[in-house]
Copies of this chain bind each other. A is one copy, B any other.
Amino acid sequence: MEKKSFTRAILALMAFMLTSVSLLAQEALFGNSALISPEIHPDNTVTFRLVAPKARVVQVTGDFLPTQKVTTEQGTFDRPGVATLTENEQGVWEYTTPEPLKSELYSYSFLVDGIRMMDPNNVYMNRDVMTVTNIFIIKGGQGDLYSVNDVPHGTVAKRWYDSPTLGKQRRLTVYTPAGYEEGRQKYPVLYLLHGMGGDEEAWSALGRTAQIMDNLIAQGKAEPMIVVMTNGNVDQEAAPGESQEGLLKPVMRLPHMMDGTFEQSFPDVISFVEKNYRVIKKKSGRAIAGLSMGGFHSLHISKLYPDKFDYVGLFSSAIGVTDEKVSPVYEDMEGKLAIQFKDAPKLYWIGIGKTDFLYQANVEYRDLLQSKGYPFEYYESEGGHIWRNWRVYLTELAPKLFK
Residues of A within 8 A of B (CB): 1-6, 9-10, 12-27, 30, 32-33, 36, 50-56, 61, 70, 72-75, 77, 79-80, 82, 109, 111-118, 120-125, 127-133, 135-137, 139, 147-150, 152-153, 155-160, 169, 171, 178, 181-182, 195-197, 238, 240-244, 246-247, 249-250, 252, 254, 258, 276, 292-293, 318-323, 325-326, 357, 361, 364-365, 367-368, 385-386
**Are B149 and A244 in contact (CB-based, < 8 A)?**
yes
Residues of B within 8 A of A156 (CB): 157-158
Q: Are B1 and A246 closer than 8 Å at their CB atoms? A: no
| Contact A13:B155 (CB < 8 A) given known A54-B113, A130-B123, A247-B124 | no
CA distance A147 to B249 in the complex (A): 15
Contacts A21-B129, A112-B115, A246-B137 hold; do A323 and B13 have CB atoms under 8 A apart?
A: no
**Bound CA–CA A289/B70 (angstroms):** 55
A197-B17 Cα distance, complex, nearest whole Å: 8
Leading 6 A-B pairs by shortest Cβ distance? A6-B323, A157-B157, A9-B321, A54-B113, A117-B117, A153-B160
Q: State in angstroms the CA–CA spacing of A137 and B32 once bound together.
A: 28
Structural contact, B24 and A320, CB atoms closer than 8 A: no
Task: Please determine whether A136 and B247 come into contact, CB atoms closer than 8 angstroms.
Answer: yes
Contacts of A244 in B (CB 8 A): 147-150
A76: min CB distance to chain B, Å: 11
Q: Is the CB of A2 within 8 A of B254?
A: no
Residues A254 and B54 in contact, CB atoms below 8 Å apart: no
**Measured CA separation A135–B247 after assembly (Å):** 9
| C-alpha gap A135/B111 in the complex (Å) | 22
Complex: how many Å from CA A301 to CA B301?
52
Contact of A54 among B56, B72, B293 (CB under 8 A): B56
Could you say which residues of chain B place their CB within 8 Å of the CB of A252? 14, 17-18
Q: Tell me the number of copies of this protein.
A: 2
Known contacts A132-B123, A160-B155; A51 and B9 CB within 8 A of each other: no
In the bound complex, do residue A181 and residue B276 qualify as a contact, i.e. CB atoms below 8 Å apart? Answer: yes
Instruction: Say yes or no: A247 contacts B137, CB within 8 Å.
Output: yes
Which one of A115, A135, A368, A385 has the greatest number of beta carbons of chain B within 10 Å?
A: A115
Q: Are B55 and A113 in contact (CB under 8 A)?
A: yes
Q: Determine the residue in chain B with the shortest Cβ distance to A386.
A: B20
- A139 close to B77 (CB less than 8 A): no
A72-B124 CB under 8 A given contacts A2-B364, A115-B55, A155-B160: no
> Contacts of A155 on B, CB cut-off 8 Å?
157-160
A381 to chain B, nearest CB (A): 16
Chain B residues with CB under 8 Å of A241's CB are 123-124, 148
Q: Is the CB of A258 within 8 A of B56?
A: no
B247 and A52 form a contact (CB under 8 A) = no
The reply to whether A320 and B1 form a contact with Cβ atoms under 8 Å apart is: yes
Name 6 extra pairs, CB < 8 A, besides A16-B385, A52-B113: A25-B79, A54-B113, A124-B240, A148-B246, A156-B157, A157-B157
Contact B242 A4 (CB under 8 A): no
Give Cα distance in the complex from A15 to B197, angstroms.
11
Q: Smallest Cβ distance from A202 to chain B, in angstroms?
A: 12
Q: Which residues from B are CB-within-8-Å of A171? A: 153
Please, how many angstroms separate the alpha-carbon atoms of A5 and B324 in the complex? 10
- A14, A74, A114, A129, most chain B CB atoms within 10 A: A114
CB distance from A175 to the nearest CB of B (A): 10
Could you tell me if A254 and B115 are in contact, using CB atoms closer than 8 angstroms? no
What is the bound-complex CA distance between A33 and B117, given in angstroms? 13
